[in-house]
Amino acid sequence: MRFTSYIGASAIVAFASAQTFTECNPTEKECPNNPAMAATLETNFKAGADSVKGWKQTAGKLEYVEAGADFTLAAKGDAPTIQTEGYLHFGLIEVKARAAAGQGVISSIVLQSEDLDEVDWEFIGGVPTEAQMNYFGKGNVTTYDRMTKAPVATPMDTFHTYALNWTAESLTWIIDSVPVRTLNFADANGGKNYPQTPSTVRIGIWAGGDPANSKGTIEWAGGEIDYTKGPYKMTVESVKITNYSPGTEYKWTDKSGSYQSIEVIDAGNVQGAPINSVALKPTATATGGGLQDQVNVPNATSLSSPYGNNTQYASKPTSACGTSTITLTLSGTQQPPAPTGGVATPPAATGIVTDTAPAPTAPQKTPTPSSNSTTSAPPEEFTAAASHNKVGAFVGLMAGAAILLV
């Protein structure tokens, strides 16, 4: 799918449906139940194609090497992507991967539901020092000020484990067991923009810098891609997913898109739907369905929304919204309790860094940032995070980490 620039706030809202993908949106019409993922889905890509079960190829194909599975972008139109067959409703997603280097190349790990709740890890191939973290609720792209960045040591040369601990009350992004960002339910526009519905996991590589993309997308991707310098490769070593609400299916009991409206059919069934045992075809050459037409990415108009000058967005300094440094400590890993039916949640944790950039309901004017990034206050639309954390992340505290709130 190609991206087109639009003018005006209403056009930005309309653009949301044009750049995301859903087979059937349960907030708009009656849809089939979502097949549930097993309580645990582990995939070792180093073991080869025969070990990859519970996934489907939605674009391109994988190449299996000693280090894992290569997602290769070699020519225009390449966008190898895989997606879980089943859905999880809250859980822990851990992906050990090495991102692809290269201007205009995007490596992505995405959590997305049928009503377009979305959580992203994204890696810009020309920026070898950081990971981008983003989220959307119900496809709301009225602003793009929710993205934050976390420093990563050589993500294009070194394997790191990128995790998401997702519960009914909070969502935590984690790098190598260190939490780098937490979003509380209440801080995502009172929960309205909080990702909270059954989702699949999608992993892929794509050309954000393709010349046919919108100006904003190309700028966000760091510039136009040069296919002659390829191939570009993202390598995934392993994936482990823990589904906190196992069952066989998820039923949307109304059109609210609220997590309370989701009924777990056959709650507690750790095997999940039969589809979890389906093997990924190693020779799959699916076309279409790459991540570039499944997830929310900026266009020229939406890029100008947070900062007023879209030409500066790709390299926007961290002082745009002030810089906050938070020290975290880690005291070990806690496992979620065994499910007893309905939505299971892990034990509470405290001291995790909380998000200070919730999504507003409509485009808002961003104040001019102060020249002193260490002391300037966040923009007016950024409200402080709530103090409660009843269901928090799976980690405790220890190991210093700093987060730059962009």
Assess contact for 85 and 38: CB atoms under 8 A: no
Q: Which two tokens stand for residue 191?
A: 């929960």
| Burial profile 102-112: b = 16 or more Cβ within 10 angstroms, e = fewer | bbbbbbbbbbb
3-class secondary-structure state, position 143: coil
Assess contact for 115 and 22: CB atoms under 8 A: yes
Q: Terminus-to-terminus CA distance in the chain, angstroms?
A: 28
Q: Which two tokens stand for residue 72?
A: 């290769």
Catalytic annotation present for 380 = no
Assess contact for 38 and 266: CB atoms under 8 A: no
d(CA 251, CA 373): 47
Catalytic annotation present for 169 = no
Of 122, 169, 249, 381, which is the active-site residue?
122
Q: What is the largest CA-CA distance in the chain?
A: 57
Helices then strands, each counted (H, E), the chain: 3, 18
Which of 227, 259, 221, 265 lies closest to 247, judged by CA? Answer: 265
**Chain centroid to CA 391: how far?**
20
Neighbouring-strand partners of residue 57: 82
Query: Phi and psi of 14, rounded to 5°?
Result: -65, -30
**Chain centroid to CA 377: how far?**
27
Beta strands at 178-184 and 232-243: parallel, antiparallel or unpaired: unpaired
Of 85, 114, 118, 381, which is the active-site residue?
118
**Catalytic residue list:** 118, 122
